[in-house]
Structure 1
């Protein structure tokens, strides 16, 4: 009888062990490491082209030398004249840019960019001659230069700027920019041209639409200093209002990505 009881107990114990082995495990799921951050795809050198338009912020006036003659004796005089700027300058702006970006983490991008632009921006002007009394008679001297277009033009300009921006998405950058500016301004046939320096500031958006390629839209406000150089016969053809102008342009950049960073890795579902 004892043998039968022991056998039954062993059989029950074996069945319990087998049943426990068939039950689901209560162990916690393994903790996987977080995925690596996306590569800094904006870091590296880039170069590109742009095209847009520009317009001056205020009417530009210039002053220069004008020839006068005495109607009484025919004596000839060189005296300061005055050119009043017409409508605000406007025209096409186009050129190229090169730069370098450095991406901090997943959403901060800083860099430096230089660009050079040719422009067709110019304003018409009407010769507003000063009335000078004729020393040879009781009348006035007659200006020899006729009225007409003697306006001010911005022939070209360039900038050297810092950039800092925030990545809304891995491929969409919103940024601000500002720095040094320079440009050649001409003031009509009697005033010649000269290179001015100043500053510029603005902002824009840039979209990395495919590997190594981005498109951008940008606005800049530029302020160049008043001319201080001497002109004809020692008279300074300084512009009464220094050039201040706006530019809006669109462009495309190629990113060289020498560091090996490529296009963003899209999540798989």
Structure 2
């Protein structure tokens, strides 16, 4: 009987681990951590910029005078060489919208307005003839490229419509102004330092065409110029895609 009793006890003890394995686990299930949300450039943004600009050389010939209805002023006919170039400070603001078309491509539209001190001129017995750009603006398309693993860094090209206020100075004879339209193109690089903040550096070439003042013989003003500027943008998240982690 003792042997039988010991056998029953031994069998019961041996079955305990197997029975315990069938019981529900009291341990908490591991928490699933979703992947971090992928960065997206999609959304509206506003920003500011500052930099510098300089004009290209311009041609002039046939210096003489023409009557503008008030006084006789120096004038020229474009053609043979000569010219001057000059620079100044550029600063203003921009608004725009980006759309992340694919993980690598971004398209967008940006409008900006700049005040400038860009001016140039040459000397003369009348005090010199100068020209300048008081302000200008652009409305441009942007096409950007990002790299895998560097989605916060975008290299882009840009181009579109430009307009501005041109100025021609005639020393003691006065200053003339005219509005002009043309085009602008360039490129830049932008980096998102925070989810809503980015910094950028940009180059633009802008050509506002030729404008005449006071009839055919008074003056023609052609202002192609370059600008290099640094800026900062704040993304408003209007029209942006929902974060990936919100889907879990």
Fold match by TM threshold 0.5: yes
Deviation track 1:118-169 (CA, whole Å, cap 9, x = no partner) reads 1111112223xxxxxxxxxxxxxxxxxx522331111111100000011121
**Worse-matched range after superposition: 185-194 or 47-56:** 185-194
Q: Describe how 1:58-77 pairs up with structure 2 within 5 A.
A: 58-59=57-58, 61=60
8 Å contact kept, 2:39–2:151: no
For structure 2, the residue ranges without an aligned partner over 5 or more in a row are 1-33
Alignment root-mean-square deviation, CA: 3.1
For structure 1, the residue ranges without an aligned partner over 5 or more in a row are 1-34, 68-76, 128-145
The equivalent residue for 2:41 is 42
> What count of residue pairs does the alignment treat as equivalent?
201
Shift of 1:251: 0.0
8 Å contact kept, 2:37–2:243: no
Shift of 1:236: 4.8
Shift of 1:38: 4.9
Of the candidates 155, 159, 164, which is equivalent to residue 143 of structure 2?
164
8 Å contact kept, 1:210–1:263: no
The equivalent residue for 2:234 is 254
**Alpha-carbon distance in structure 2 between the residues aligned to 1:41 and 1:64:** 60
Q: Is 1:51 aligned to residue 50 of structure 2?
A: yes
Q: Describe how 1:93-132 pairs up with structure 2 within 5 A.
A: 93-127=90-124
The equivalent residue for 1:221 is 205
TM-score, normalised relative to structure 2: 0.71
More strand per residue: 2
**Higher Cα Rg: structure 1 or 2?**
1
Q: Describe how 1:116-155 pairs up with structure 2 within 5 A.
A: 116-127=113-124, 146-155=125-134
TM-aligned CA distance change 1:236 to 1:98, over 3 Å: farther
8 Å contact kept, 2:44–2:95: yes
